[in-house]
Amino acid sequence: MGLALVLPPRLVLIFLIILPAITAVVETLRPPGGSGFALTNYAHILGNRILRSDIRFSIVVTVVSVAVTFSLSYPLALYLRFNTGRLPALLAVLFTIPLFVPVVIASFAMITFLVNHGMVSTILYRLGIERFPALVYNATGIVVTEVWTTIPFAVLILGAGLQAIDDALIDSARDVGAGALRTFVSIILPLNATPTLITLTLLFIGIFGSFTIPYLVGGNAPQMLGVTMTNYLTQYLRRTESVTIAVIAFIIAAAVGAIYVASVGRRERQNL
C-alpha cells in the first residue's frame, strides 16, 4: 500500500533525475570517435587551463558567498529567536522578502542597484566618493547577489533549529551562573550543530550550482561552472563537453552533499 502510493513521485525521480544522470555519465565515459570506456573527456576538460580556472573561481566564489551569508544569518536567527517586540517582528518580515523574488529579478535589481552610474554609485557620488572598484559584472557582484537571495533560506533553517532548543535548558544554564557567551558556546552552539551543518552544505550546493546569478551579474571570464556548461551546450553545441563539466560539478557537490545527507539522516533517525 505504502509502496504503491510513493510509486508515482518515485518514477519521476527515476525518470527525470537518476536515469538522465546515468545516461550522462555513460556518455562522458565514451572516448570521442572510439568505443569502450575511457577517461579521455575528463582529461580533456581538466587539461584545459580556462576550465581549470573556472573550477577554481566557482569554488572560491561559493565559499566566500557561503561565509558571508552564514555570518549575517546566524546572528539574525539568534536575534529573532531570543527577542520579541515590534523590531524583531518587522525584521522577520523583512528578511523573508528575497524568498518571494524570482532569482532573475533579484539579479536584474542588483544590476540596477550596483552598476556604474546606478543607485549606489549615484549616492556615493553625492557623498563625494567618485572612485571605487566595480561592484557588478565581476565576483563581487555574484557574491552580493548570492548573499541577497540566500539569506532568507539560511535564517529560516537556522531559526527552525534554534526554535527547537528548549527555553528551560537555557534558563537552567543561566540559573547556575553561566554568562550569555558561555550559554551560547556550551548550550546553543552544540544543540544547533546539525541545522548549522545542513545550512552550510545546502548553501554550498545551491550557490555552487547556480546559473542565473553568475550569468547575469558575473563577468566574462573566469565564470562559474553553471554558466560554462550552459555555454558549451547552447552556444558551442558541444554536448559531451558540457555533460562532462556537469559530472565534474556533480562530483564536487556530491562530496559536500555527503555531509548533508549524513546529518539529515541522523536527524531523521531521531525523529522516527
Of 166-225, binders to another protein (CB under 8 A) are 166-167, 170-171, 174, 180, 183, 198, 201, 205, 208-212, 215-216, 225
- Subset of 142-161 contacting another protein (CB under 8 A): 148, 151, 153, 156-157, 159-161
Using CB under 8 A, which of 55, 61, 187, 247 touches another protein? Answer: 247
User: Minimal distance in Å, beta carbon 257 to another protein?
Assistant: 4
User: Minimal distance in Å, beta carbon 43 to another protein?
Assistant: 19
Closest CA to 227 of 81, 61, 13: 61
CA atoms within 13 A on the CB side of 220: 0
Binding flags for another protein, 12-51, as an x/- string (CB under 8 A)? xx--xx-xxx-xx--x------------------------
Q: Are 217 and 137 in contact (CB under 8 A)?
A: yes
Which residues, at least 6 apart from 174, have a Cβ–Cβ distance to it below 8 Å? 183
User: Minimal distance in Å, beta carbon 188 to another protein?
Assistant: 12
User: Minimal distance in Å, beta carbon 211 to another protein?
Assistant: 5
DSSP code, position 31 = P
Q: Which is nearer to another protein, 21 or 29 (CB)?
A: 21
User: Minimal distance in Å, beta carbon 164 to another protein?
Assistant: 5
- Subset of 250-269 contacting another protein (CB under 8 A): 250, 253-254, 257, 260-261, 264-265, 267-269
- Subset of 49-108 contacting another protein (CB under 8 A): 75-76, 79, 81-84, 87-88, 90-91, 94-98, 100-108
User: Minimal distance in Å, beta carbon 52 to another protein?
Assistant: 18
Residue 235 makes contact with another protein by CB under 8 A: no
**Cα dihedral across residues 224, 229, 232, 238: positive or negative:** positive
Please give the grid coordinates belonging to residue 147: 548573499
For residue 197, CA distances in Å to 48, 254, 259 come to 34, 15, 8
- Chain centroid to CA 207: 3
Q: Alpha helix (H) ranges present in the chain?
A: 2-5, 7-13, 19-29, 40-46, 49-82, 86-96, 103-114, 119-126, 139-163, 167-175, 180-183, 189-191, 193-208, 212-217, 225-234, 239-271
